[in-house]
Amino acid sequence: MEEQKQAKQRILSGIQPTGVFTLGNYMGAIVNWEQMQEDYDCAYFIADLHSLTVRQEPAELRKHTIEAFALLLACGIDPEKSLVFVQSHVHTHAEMGWVLCCSALMGELGRMTQFKDKSAKHADNINAGLFTYPVLMAGDILLYQADYVPVGQDQRQHLEFTRDLAERFNHFYGNVFKIPDGYYPKAGAKVMSLQDPTSKMSKSDPNPNSFISILDDRPVILNKFKRAVTDSEAEIVYREGKDGINNLITIYSVMTGKSIPEVEKEFEGQGYGTFKMAVGESVADRLQPIRDEFNRLVGEKKYLEELMAVGADRAYRISRRTLEKAKKKVGLLLP
């Protein structure tokens, strides 16, 4: 695969095996991945090593990793077109993380917004991995000489850190790493809570009506949209101050492929109830085949494990070249 696709630019993206992918994950990232694999040399991985910064139930983590892998396939990622693998199955990631840790600075890691936020949420477990995981993330990207990395607003700081770290390493040791750019989707990059549309949709929200899981069934999806917070204006237009309606219009736009002006025209003069049900139906229709395929795949564990092994082997062959070059540059003796 790697030899055949060098004419295409490479995109790399990872997603943690958190157990629940939300509509926000889907619209902000995964919905774009299927199309990207037609245009780019794509590498997608399950970032299970990153998940260890928060205490995990081992059996649950293993289950969620397999489910996350299956869900990527169900969402349209084709292992024949894209590189798909589990991060911990490729030991070059951990090795590169250590090499790069020795070029990362304490001060820049301490300024990471997510480190501050997660430290506040998990004050009883502010571990070294939580502090250094941006370095592991940088290694994930740089190992594959990625041209682009799809990033949301909350990951831009980490991409800038990756670029700075790569430039610093190249400056001291010679040219090893390609400097990656961000890939920013045009629509659906940020999906808000259905109950508090000023906040990002999150699976950690204590109110289950605030988010849609990719695996929610149709009645659940429709009920959650029926309860979605709107406003008292009864006008379906996208404008400042209408956070709830703006969120629903964005979701419907991405689900149907219609522009925001087209959505406004379609529902001109109609009530919020009708609009909310239409949004719910569009989401349920889009997610139904994903849920069906996921349910089929998770019942074929051996098949999934075979695909993981193939992906890990491909990932190792690609990433090993970069790792060995970096190790030589810093003076390590290769076996």
| Residues marked as catalytic | 118, 200, 203
Are the C-beta atoms of 19 and 60 separated by less than 8 Å?
yes
Sheet holding 41-46, edge to edge: 83-86, 41-46, 10-15, 148-150, 181-183
Residue 311: C-alpha distances to residues 13, 86, 104, 121 (Å) = 14, 8, 29, 34
Under DSSP, the state recorded for 29 is I
- Alpha-carbon distance 196 to 210, whole Å? 7
Helix axes 128-143, 92-101, angle to 10 degrees: 110
Q: CA-CA distance, 285 to 269, in Å (whole number)?
A: 24
CA distances (Å), 89 to each of 58, 106, 170, 314, 329, in order? 16, 28, 27, 11, 25
Neighbours of 222 (CB within 10 A): 18
CA distance 307 to 33: 18
Write out the H or E segment, with its range, that includes residue 286. helix 272-297
Q: What Cα–Cα distance (Å) separates residue 257 from each residue in 24, 243, 282? A: 16, 21, 11
Q: Are strands 10-15 and 41-46 parallel, antiparallel or unpaired?
A: parallel
